[in-house]
Each structure stands twice: as structure tokens, then as C-alpha cells.
Amino acid sequence: MIDKNQIKPKSLLSIGITTKGRIHELRATLSILENSELSACSIILIDDGGGGDFVSKEEYSLNLLIHRYQESQGLVARRNELAGLCKTKYLMSLDDDSAPERGAIDDVLDLLETNEDVAAVALNLYNEVSEHLDSSMPNFIARYYVGCGHIYKVGIFKKLGGYSGDLFYGHEEREYALKLARESLNIIHINHYIVKHRKSGINRVVGYNARMSRNLGWINGTYLGILPNIIELYSFLKGRKINQVGLVLKDYFDGIRARKSAGKLTFSQYWKWKRKKTPTVA
């Protein structure tokens, strides 16, 4: 007998997961999904050059679409690929070490279906050392979402060009949030839908901090004008130790110099975006 509670998520929602050599984390996440209300959804798995053993369709009673690559193209390219492979209206993006813990997916999809100005939702995240927000709190408009737990409207994502390939890894969520702000579209933080991020340290990107600094400079230089850039640079340096400033500034201005020509946010658009609340980060 078909579970009527699974009809809506199956027809509207796919799940996308990128991974690289973290087979044990991926198996744990798939086991959670197999026993959840999302078990009927298509799940797109992309292995970005992880090599070695991998999961098979036969291991799970899930609709798995598996794509494996010998060479790494970076997280951003693979997340763009997830959108290209998605056949449903919405895509839930998870890390291989994150999975929904509680909440009704129908309520999340209803919000997306009934609000044209909402392009994505940020889910309520936590890990072993951080807490999620009280699930009874009202939802709020968020500045951005976090990669390990969000859902976006695939049509809008494709129309706006997804994430820039210049980023390779890091802060792509911020770049997309600025694109949405430029189009007067919103991200809603959903407090009642909770995702746990186990936050595995295996195969984290080498040179992570330098890459994040460089990408932040690239994004700000590409999408923001002079005054917003000054404000963002102050925010970037605030609270850093003196002996860290020189190195992070070098990486940051490497990104500024590599910026692309794109439509910039007006100051009003930027300030409206800046005043939005930050989502849960885990």
C-alpha cells in the first residue's frame, strides 16, 4: 500500500549529496534517510573523485542515482551538477555527514509552494558542540543558508546560474544569497525542521582557510560596490589577532583582484540583506 504521506515529497523533492572518500559517513546518512519520511524521494549521489569502495543501489531500499568520477572537480561544480540532474521542483542538499532528525517535510514544501518570493529555505542545524534553535520559535528571513542542510527551488537556481565555478569550494552559499538579494528573493530559516551535522573531519579540503578568505574577497568584489566592500572588510577583520591579519588580507585581496564583472547590488539591496538574521551554522 502506498503511504499517502510520501506522495508529496516524492513528487516535489529530490535529495542531493556530494561526497569524497567518506563511505562510512555516507552509509550512516543513507540508513537514516531509508527510515525516514523521505525514503521515497530520489537521492542523487555524486562521488567527486573519492576512489575506493562505494555504496550500491542493492544495499538500500532507496531510489539512488549514483554518479562517480575519477577526478575531482570541486564541491561547487558537483553541487551545480546536482541541480542539473534533479527532475523535481525542489532539491534538498545535504552533506554526506548530515541528515534530517525531525520535522514534517510537508510543512516545508507547503511554505515553498505558497510563497513565490521564497527561493530557498535554511534548515535548523546543529552538531555535537552546537545547539539548534528552539523548534517552536517563529521562522525568519535568513541572510543565507548553509550547505549541509537546505532546500532550494531548482528553477530559480538554474535561472540565476547556480554557483560560480570560480569558487571551487567555500562560501558558494553566500554568493547565491547575494544573487537572490539582487532579485528581491528571500531565504526562510525553518525552525521546526532539524538537521544534525555530524561534521566529519575526514578529507576536508587542504588550504581551507586560505580558500575561504580568497572566495570571500572574490564574492564581495564581484557583487558589492565600494561602500559595502568597506563594511564587509571591517566585518571580516573584526576580532582577528594581529598576527593573522597579514595572511588573511593577502588571500582576501587575491580574491578581490580575481573578481568578475557582474551586476552589483544597490546599497539599499545590500543593506536589506545585511540586516537579515544569520542562520544556524553547524
Q: What are phi and psi of 10, to 5 degrees?
A: -65, -40
215 lies in the same domain as 193? no
Beta-carbon neighbour count of residue 185 at 10 Å?
A: 17
Binned at pLDDT 50, 70 and 90, residue 90 comes out as very high
Determine the pLDDT at residue 1. 38
3-class SS at 180?
Answer: helix
Most distant CA atoms of the chain, gap in Å: 64
Give the residue from 174, 197, 220 where a domain finishes.
Answer: 197
Q: Are residues 262 and 179 in the same domain?
A: no
Work out the average pLDDT over 20-26: 91
Residue 7 binned pLDDT confidence (cut-offs 50, 70, 90): low
Do 126 and 233 belong together in one domain? no
- For residue 239, the model assigns a pLDDT of 79
Q: Pick the range with the lowest mean pLDDT from 51-60, 156-165, 176-185.
A: 51-60
Residues 214 and 189 grouped into a single domain:
no
- CATH code of the domain in which 66 resides: 3.90.550.10
Higher pLDDT, 50 or 5: 50
On whether the pTM is more than 0.95, the answer is: no
* pLDDT tens sequence across 92-148: 999 999 999 999 999 999 999 999 999 999 999 999 888 889 999 999 999 999 999
Among the residues of 66-149, which ranges form H helices?
75-85, 105-114
Same domain, 43 and 107: yes
Q: Does a structural domain hold residue 280?
A: no
Task: Indicate whether 217 pLDDT > 60.
Answer: yes
167 located within any domain: yes
Tell me if 48 is assigned to some domain. yes
Residue 279 inside a domain? The answer is no
Shared domain check, 80 and 217? no
65 inside domain: yes
Same domain, residue pair 190 and 229 = no
The mean of the pLDDT values for the chain is: 92
Helix or strand (DSSP H, E) at 253: helix 242-257
3-state secondary structure of 90: strand
Domain boundary, last residue among 168, 197, 226:
197
Q: Say yes or no: 267 and 176 in one domain.
A: no
Tell me: the pLDDT tens digits for 237-276? 987 887 778 888 999 999 999 999 889 999 999 999 999 9
Q: What is the pLDDT of residue 186?
A: 98
Same domain, 142 and 117: yes
Neighbouring residues of 150: CB distance < 8 A, sequence distance ≥ 6: 92, 93, 120, 121, 122, 123, 173, 187
Whether 202 is covered by a domain: the verdict is: no
* Domain of 10, in residue numbers: 4-197
What percent of the chain has a predicted confidence (pLDDT) above 70?
95
Using the predicted structure, report yes or no on whether residue 151 has a pLDDT greater than 80.
Answer: yes
| Number of domains the chain is built from | 2
Q: How confident is the model at residue 6 (pLDDT cuts 50, 70, 90)?
A: low
Please report which confidence band the pLDDT of residue 179 belongs to, taking 50, 70 and 90 as the band edges.
Answer: very high
pLDDT at position 125 is 96
For the cut 70, the answer to whether the pLDDT of residue 159 exceeds it is yes
Same domain, 98 and 224: no
pLDDT for 53-73, tens place per residue?
Answer: 899 999 999 999 999 999 999
Q: Domain boundary at 172, 197, 222, which?
A: 197
Q: Do you know the residue count of the chain?
A: 282
Do 159 and 110 share a structural domain?
yes
Q: Is residue 260 part of a domain?
A: yes
Is 282 a member of any domain? no
Q: Is the pLDDT of residue 205 over 70?
A: no
Assess whether 183 and 241 both reside in one domain: no
